Amino acid sequence: MRLALTVLRRDRRSQVATVLVALGVMIAVSLVLWLLAAPGGLETRSDRAAWRAPWSGSGSSEAMKINMAATKDSFEGRLVERFDVARQKPGTVPVAAGIARFPESGEVLLSPALAELVRGTAPERLGNRFPGKVIGELGPEALQFPGELVAIIGRDAVSNGIPAAGLTAGWSTGSEQDMLYLLTRVGLVVLVAPCLVLVGSAARLTAAKRERRLAALRLAGATPRQVVQMTVIETAVGAVAGSLLGVLLVRPFSYLTTMVPWAGGTWYPDDFVPGLPVVAAVALLAPVLVVGAAILGLRRVVTRPLAVEEQRKARTARLLLIGLAIAVLFVGVQAVNLRKYGSNGMLVLLAGVGGVALALVLGGPVVTGWVGRFFVGRWRGPATLLAGRRLSGDPVAAFRGSAGVVLAVFTGSMALTMLPSLQDRIQFVDQTWNRDVIIASDVTTDLAPLRRATTAPVVAMVEGRGSDSDPQRSGDRVIVGRCAEVAQVLNGLTCRPGAAVYAPEWFHAGQVEAGRQSGKVTAALPAVYETRPFRPQGSVTAVIDLDLVPALAGQRTLVALPTTPENRDVVHTAIVGALPGARLLDTRIADRWSDTLMGDLQRATVIGLSIAAALGAIGTAVAAAGSVIDRRRAFAALIAAGTPVRVLAHALRREVVIPVIAVTMAACGAGVLVGLALLTVGRAAASLGDFPITAWVFAPPAVGVLVALVAALACGPVLRGISPRDYASE
């Protein structure tokens, strides 16, 4: 211990290496804790909103005390979660934390942000949507995020409600939360790897000199145990200090993360704070891993102290690991899609993603050695020859600095492959309806109150399926109504006088089946009818004039109202008041919701790629500087022999950049493949050819080469500090 501490106290290069190890471990610990807190934050947010799941009280019919209808409302571009509830049976109705009590008919509970909006807005624009006396405000325990707009309205009856035992916790995770769960787990896998590369680069900053010193001590009579203890002490000083600093950074990181919006809102301060057992486990595990890696690196020193100067070769068999990792990845995808193995399927999937990243790092030295031999055989100039000799002679050490950049390229290509398809999957609105239309579905109440409450046209329609004897042409979505009225709200419809069916040429139906809660209403079409051209712009295939199916007269399942920017909020409020419990589709708010989720994905991608790129650049710079320090004696000898420092600088830049150029294209291809595989999760019938690939996937390799070149410049100041005197002192 005294000898190890003396080295740390007197050797400046060992001190620099210890500081860099501490910084690397600090970044790794803080980043891992931050990523581990994300699923917990999502789970906490989901738990607070679990009372909103209508099926949360599923059980015997005797336990169903209320009816609840959940509707997504909107005001000035902000989402409003509205819940119409009605009592079915007498007795106490259980409520979740944050809800004062169950609101009876004529009573309302509002979230604080919504209550403030109601107080500052004209009633006909917002307040009339929540008729009744406000008996209290929802607490933070019942809200997903600060500023969320939520209302619980007590009604006499809710026509479209779902039975529930009460406003109690159940389960509720939306697709956007599932998406973030997957992103955080994949991010944990792919971002921890650059952290390990950074820590490894820092730990090997003076590895060559340490190995020579320990080998000399072994030859002088030191036992293997003494050598290992010295290494443990030297490494543990920086690793433990870095782990403690990383734990201290958790709070600032958590605070900054709560300011990043997701799904329309930010987070509560305690959402992103990892639990004490997780913090303790990571804080203890990080130094153990660093020290363990240092001990594993002593095999040659302990067993063959005279062989510490031997260069390490990379066996071609390492490339087989890439194929094995890809196989594990696809097994994990199938396991998740088939849902046969529960959470183990996700573990196999993540193991496959991490395995591909690890295989790229392990296979990189093989490619580096091949490239080095190529340049040695075809060198032009001394700098290229020196770089080629280094790459072919010690490919493991030569590639070590490129590992971080390769992982960043892999991560970037994977993210940019997934992003376009994810954007398509979160689009909520097609082009069926005109832009400024509000649609109410599952309408069963009289429309007279709605017509009295608004001057906007009220278009009543019946939604159904057109079918005939041909199984290839059955089940097309159709709208039944007055063509002139439907044309006000449906996109692409042009009417002419007379009853007809507006549909593509291939459409033919003999009857219309309209779905209702109480069953299906079937109406037959005439044996012969006129078909007029209509090009569907969305999910509606045909429009059938009501005069052709008089059996559906007086029926309606859809109500649509065209609006203007001036009366939009007023019309929306009138619909909510006149049709309680109806499900609303507001095309503008749905578009905004889609844009919000896409912005969240883009923001998460930018943050993740920035972290990966920064870690890769820092790791490459540290490894390049460590390469110069490790070969200080060789460079000093070359300088003493008359080699210009400029030539050595060019050789060092080639050593860093050439492996990156050689391996980044393989990393890009692997990232594209893994991204396509992850896109098939949840879509077992999809094939890899169903997803678009843009030219942006090739941007990470270009950025990776640029980052490697900039990081390679870090070895310049270290190289200029070497003089022939260093060779004499060695």
**Dihedral pair phi/psi, residue 253, rounded to 5°:** -60, -45
Q: Once rounded to an integer, what is the mean pLDDT over residues 395-402?
A: 80
Under 8 Å between Cβ of 589 and 384: no
Q: Is residue 194 domain-shared with residue 292, that is, in the same domain?
A: yes
Which of 89-93, 195-199, 410-414 bottoms out in mean pLDDT, i.e. has the lowest?
195-199
Task: Give the pLDDT band of residue 58 (cuts 50, 70, 90).
Answer: very low
- At residue 173, does pLDDT exceed 50? no
Q: Is residue 453 domain-shared with residue 558, that is, in the same domain?
A: yes
Q: Within 13 Å, how many C-alpha atoms sit on residue 338's CB side?
A: 11
646-669 as b/e: b if 16+ CB within 10 A: eebbbbbbbbbbbbbebbbebbbe
pLDDT of residue 204: 66
In degrees, rounded to 5, the angle at the alpha carbon of residue 194 between the alpha carbons of residues 18 and 626 is 40
Q: Is residue 465 part of a domain?
A: yes
Q: d(Cα 419, Cα 616) in Å, to the nearest integer?
A: 22
- At residue 584, does pLDDT exceed 90? no
Q: d(Cα 543, Cα 525) in Å, to the nearest integer?
A: 13
Under 8 Å between Cβ of 593 and 81: no
Q: d(Cα 564, Cα 575) in Å, to the nearest integer?
A: 15
Task: Give the pLDDT band of residue 57 (cuts 50, 70, 90).
Answer: very low
Q: Is residue 449 domain-shared with residue 578, that is, in the same domain?
A: yes
Q: Once rounded to an integer, what is the mean pLDDT over residues 593-618?
A: 78
Task: Give the pLDDT band of residue 38 (cuts 50, 70, 90).
Answer: confident
Domain limit, last residue, from 284, 310, 336: 310
Element of type H or E holding 9: helix 2-10
Q: Is residue 59 domain-shared with residue 45, that is, in the same domain?
A: no
Q: Is residue 142 domain-shared with residue 222, that is, in the same domain?
A: no
Under 8 Å between Cβ of 79 and 588: no
Nearest to 366 by CA among 338, 397, 394, 395: 395
- 687 vs 121 pLDDT, higher one: 121
Task: Give the pLDDT band of residue 545 (cuts 50, 70, 90).
Answer: very high
pTM score:
0.69
At 492 the three-state DSSP class reads coil
Q: Is residue 25 part of a domain?
A: yes
Q: Is residue 726 part of a domain?
A: no
Nearest to 14 by CA among 190, 194, 214, 183: 214
Element of type H or E holding 225: helix 224-248
Who contacts 275 (Cβ-Cβ below 8 Å, separation ≥6)? Answer: 40
Domain limit, last residue, from 164, 192, 208: 164
Q: Please spell the DSSP secondary structure of 445-470, one letter per residue.
A: S-SHHHHHH--S--EEEEEEEEE-S-
3-state SS of 258-319 is: CCCCECCECCCCCCCCCCHHHHHHHHHHHHHHHHHHHHHCCHHHHHCHHHCCCCCCCCHHHH
3-state DSSP helix/strand/coil % of the chain, to nearest 5? 60, 15, 30
pLDDT of residue 418: 80
**Dihedral pair phi/psi, residue 548, rounded to 5°:** -80, -20
Q: d(Cα 659, Cα 649) in Å, to the nearest integer?
A: 16
Place of tokens 């045909």: 542
Spacing of C-alpha 9 from chain mean position: 45
pLDDT of residue 5: 83
Query: Residue 503 has what DSSP assignment?
Result: E
Q: Is residue 493 domain-shared with residue 552, that is, in the same domain?
A: yes
- At residue 381, does pLDDT exceed 60? yes
pLDDT of residue 559: 92
Helix residue spans in 49-105 (DSSP H): none
Q: Which of 79-88, 253-262, 681-690 has the highest mean pLDDT?
A: 79-88
pLDDT of residue 202: 65
Q: Is residue 36 domain-shared with residue 132, that is, in the same domain?
A: no
Q: Is residue 503 part of a domain?
A: yes
Six token digits for residue 279: 């913090």
- At residue 268, does pLDDT exceed 80? yes
Q: d(Cα 590, Cα 437) in Å, to the nearest integer?
A: 12
Print the domain residue range for 110. Answer: 54-164
Domain limit, last residue, from 144, 164, 184: 164
Q: d(Cα 145, Cα 270) in Å, to the nearest integer?
A: 11
Split into its structural domains, the chain has a count of 3
- At residue 19, does pLDDT exceed 70? yes
Amino acid of residue 666: A
Query: Residue 556 has what DSSP assignment?
Result: -
Under 8 Å between Cβ of 111 and 137: yes
Q: d(Cα 135, Cα 109) in Å, to the nearest integer?
A: 6
Helix residue spans in 491-586 (DSSP H): 568-578
At 523 the three-state DSSP class reads strand
Q: Is residue 381 part of a domain?
A: no
Q: Please spell the DSSP secondary structure of 617-649, one letter per residue.
A: HHHHHHHHHHHHHHTHHHHHHHHHTT--HHHHH
Task: Give the pLDDT band of residue 342 (cuts 50, 70, 90).
Answer: low
**Dihedral pair phi/psi, residue 544, rounded to 5°:** -110, 125
Q: Is residue 72 domain-shared with residue 148, that is, in the same domain?
A: yes
Six token digits for residue 466: 């057109």
Q: Once rounded to an integer, what is the mean pLDDT over residues 143-153?
A: 92
Task: Give the pLDDT band of residue 174 (cuts 50, 70, 90).
Answer: very low
pLDDT of residue 175: 46
Under 8 Å between Cβ of 265 and 150: no
Q: Is residue 254 part of a domain?
A: yes
Q: d(Cα 50, Cα 709) in Å, to the nearest integer?
A: 50
Spacing of C-alpha 434 from chain mean position: 32
Under 8 Å between Cβ of 54 and 68: yes
Helix residue spans in 378-516 (DSSP H): 382-393, 395-400, 403-425, 448-453, 483-486
Q: d(Cα 424, Cα 597) in Å, to the nearest integer?
A: 11
Q: C-alpha dihedral over 262, 58, 74, 420, to 10 degrees?
A: 40
Q: d(Cα 371, Cα 390) in Å, to the nearest integer?
A: 11
Q: Which of 149-158, 268-277, 375-384, 599-608 has the highest mean pLDDT?
A: 149-158
Q: Is residue 7 domain-shared with residue 72, that is, in the same domain?
A: no
Under 8 Å between Cβ of 490 and 597: no
- 172 vs 11 pLDDT, higher one: 11
Q: Model confidence over 436-495: pLDDT tens digits?
A: 889 888 787 788 889 988 889 999 999 888 887 555 555 788 999 999 999 999 988 999
Judged on CB neighbours under 10 Å (0-12, 13-18, 19+), 728 is exposed
Which of 56-60, 124-128, 257-261 bottoms out in mean pLDDT, i.e. has the lowest?
56-60
Q: Is residue 203 domain-shared with residue 180, that is, in the same domain?
A: yes
Q: d(Cα 493, Cα 544) in Å, to the nearest integer?
A: 12
Task: Give the pLDDT band of residue 203 (cuts 50, 70, 90).
Answer: low
Q: Is residue 423 part of a domain?
A: no
Q: Is residue 457 domain-shared with residue 544, that is, in the same domain?
A: yes
Task: Give the pLDDT band of residue 422 (cuts 50, 70, 90).
Answer: low
Q: Is residue 545 part of a domain?
A: yes
Which of 255-269, 356-370, 452-466, 538-552 bottoms out in mean pLDDT, i.e. has the lowest?
255-269
Q: Is residue 35 domain-shared with residue 180, that is, in the same domain?
A: yes
Task: Give the pLDDT band of residue 723 (cuts 50, 70, 90).
Answer: confident
Under 8 Å between Cβ of 303 and 227: no
Q: d(Cα 638, Cα 274) in Å, to the nearest integer?
A: 52
What are the distances in angstroms from CA 544 to CA 447, 457, 502, 515, 616? 21, 20, 6, 16, 61
Q: Model confidence over 280-312: pLDDT tens digits?
A: 999 998 888 888 877 776 766 777 666 555 666
Q: Please spell the DSSP secondary structure of 332-345, one letter per residue.
A: HHHHHHHT-STHHH
Q: Model confidence over 345-378: pLDDT tens digits?
A: 778 888 888 888 888 888 988 988 898 888 888 7
Under 8 Å between Cβ of 245 and 269: no
